[in-house]
Amino acid sequence: MQLEKVTASEQAIEMEDKYGAHNYHPLPVVLSKGKGVHVWDVEGKQYYDFLSAYSAVNQGHCHPKIVKAMHDQASTLSLTSRAFHNDILGPYEKYVTEYFNFDKVLPMNTGAEAVETAIKIARKWAYEKKGVEEHQAQIIVCENNFHGRTTTVISFSNDENARKNFGPYTPGFIKIPYNDINALKEALESTENIAGFLVEPIQGEAGVFTPADDYMKQAKELCSQHNALFIADEIQTGIARTGGLLAVCGNCDCQNHCERQETYTKPDMLILGKALSGGNYPVSAVLADNEVMNVIQPGQHGSTFGGNPVAGAVAIAALDVVKDENLIQNARKLGNLFRSELNKYIEQTDLVSLVRGRGLLNAIVINDSEESSTAWDICMALRDNGLLAKPTHGNIIRFAPPLVMTEEELLDCVAIIVKTLKQFEK
Ligand SMILES: Cc1ncc(COP(=O)(O)O)c(C=O)c1O
């Protein structure tokens, strides 16, 4: 059968519309090439990527070191399953656990799978270590969370569109408002059956909601007092995105996040995905110390692809790049510059009410109703002006470029964004 070659954007969009499930509503742009901070469409037009595949491409598109590691490993040994050992998994596990300072890692593929993994481990830990009666474990989660799309994960979402008609829902979750330490305290005090608190250190999908500086630290302390696991979902915020190796690193900008303990809140379980491979391959992970991770025994969890040699080689290269290219420091410096430049514009306009975020995970809130199409229309105009971004919710636009951006490129992007926003002033 002859494969139809895409030569025009419209043709690709029509094919997706006809042959693909309609589970996304992409911006109408068809990309065919990426390099560093740039992507190109089928017609050859160049754009700045200001989404980075939802913070997966932190190391920039097609980073040569990561691509080489992937290519070399794929042409040597790509998949063994976990029925046998392979010579990459052990070195990768040593590397990643030392990098993030945990005893053990459980390797998976996608973010949602890693969240499911953390939920299973937390429940098992509650029954076997904390003494919770079987089937009674509860996990505290936050309103407006986003942790993925599986049936269990959407069971504790409060996005009706993501949930409706996918029930029956998985029980065992207590929802509390985000950034509300008293609500967490009350939930922890409400029952002895709490296995853990699952939280995003910054709520990315919800619109880059950045909690109080001490929220993570206080939450961890409360969890420790109540013998509940503090579980950080850093799938979107982790790996240099927010100007720390992890968002739970607080204000620390060292490369090894444990050098300055006073700003660091160590989770009992850390969930990573996305940029763990620099966006080159689906690689996710749950990290924990022995007393938690050792509750998992053979046959109780796994995945054919989890921990495969290509994933291991790619993740090592991707994490090397973060350190070699000082991406933590760059995200922090450029993030400060981005917000200060946008604030200069915001002072003079009614169109945008604020910019918020940390490092290079930011969002602007458009001064219009959640139902309005203004944010979408602005993203269309940004596209026309050479920059790709997407609304998160109705009136919020997230800005998350690759972290390999230079200062000059960032200022160029700010100029495009301000020019575009001005087009929408009344
Ligand atoms: C915080 C968070 N958790 C989990 C996920 C799910 O990851 P995946 O889409 O790889 O399943 C995402 C994806 O956006 C996320 O941002």
Q: For 143-186, write each residue's pLDDT tens digit.
A: 999 999 999 999 999 999 999 999 999 999 999 999 999 999 99
Task: Tell whether ligand 1 has an atom less than 6 A from the beta carbon of residue 201.
Answer: no
Percent of the chain whose pLDDT exceeds 90: 92
Distance from the alpha carbon of residue 286 to the mean position of ligand 1, in angstroms: 13
Task: Tell whether ligand 1 has an atom less than 6 A from the beta carbon of residue 279.
Answer: no
- 147 with 153: CB under 8 angstroms? yes
Distance CA 217, CA 154 (A): 27
Q: Which residues are catalytic?
A: 146, 233, 274
What pLDDT band is residue 261 in, cutting at 50, 70 and 90? low
CATH 3.40.190.10 fits 9-59+327-422, yes or no: no
| Residue 327: per-residue pLDDT | 96
Distance CA 13, CA 101 (A): 44
Percent of the chain whose pLDDT exceeds 70: 97
Pocket test for ligand 1, best of 51, 117, 274 (most atoms within 8 A of CB): 274
| Residue 256: per-residue pLDDT | 56
Span 355-372, pLDDT tens digits: 999 999 999 999 998 889
Distance from the alpha carbon of residue 131 to the mean position of ligand 1, in angstroms: 31
- 137 with 197: CB under 8 angstroms? no
* Arithmetic mean of pLDDT, 397-416: 98
Distance from the alpha carbon of residue 271 to the mean position of ligand 1, in angstroms: 10
Task: Tell whether ligand 1 has an atom less than 6 A from the beta carbon of residue 115.
Answer: yes
Distance from the alpha carbon of residue 147 to the mean position of ligand 1, in angstroms: 5
Pocket test for ligand 1, best of 52, 144, 147, 149 (most atoms within 8 A of CB): 147
Closest ligand 1 atom, CA of 274?
Answer: 10
| Residue 387: per-residue pLDDT | 98
Which residue did the predictor score with more confidence, 199 or 4? 199
Distance CA 86, CA 84 (A): 7
Q: Phi/psi at 244 (nearest 5 deg)?
A: -140, 165
Q: Phi/psi at 305 (nearest 5 deg)?
A: -95, -20
Structure tokens that stand for 374 in this block: 């203004």
The overall average pLDDT reported for the chain is 95
Pocket test for ligand 1, best of 57, 198, 235 (most atoms within 8 A of CB): 235
Which residue did the predictor score with more confidence, 2 or 254? 2
Q: What are the structural domain ranges in the chain? A: 9-59+327-422, 64-324
Structure tokens that stand for 263 in this block: 């700003």
| Residue 370: per-residue pLDDT | 87
Distance CA 113, CA 149 (A): 9
What pLDDT band is residue 254 in, cutting at 50, 70 and 90? low
What pLDDT band is residue 307 in, cutting at 50, 70 and 90? very high
Task: Tell whether ligand 1 has an atom less than 6 A from the beta carbon of residue 204.
Answer: yes
What pLDDT band is residue 253 in, cutting at 50, 70 and 90? low
| Residue 15: per-residue pLDDT | 97
* Arithmetic mean of pLDDT, 233-255: 86
CATH 3.90.1640.20 fits 64-324, yes or no: no
Residue 64: pLDDT over 90: yes
| Residue 251: per-residue pLDDT | 63
Span 19-54, pLDDT tens digits: 999 999 999 999 999 999 999 999 999 999 999 999
Closest ligand 1 atom, CA of 54?
Answer: 14
Closest ligand 1 atom, CA of 203?
Answer: 1
Whether the predicted model's global pTM rises above the 0.75 cut:
yes
Distance from the alpha carbon of residue 115 to the mean position of ligand 1, in angstroms: 8
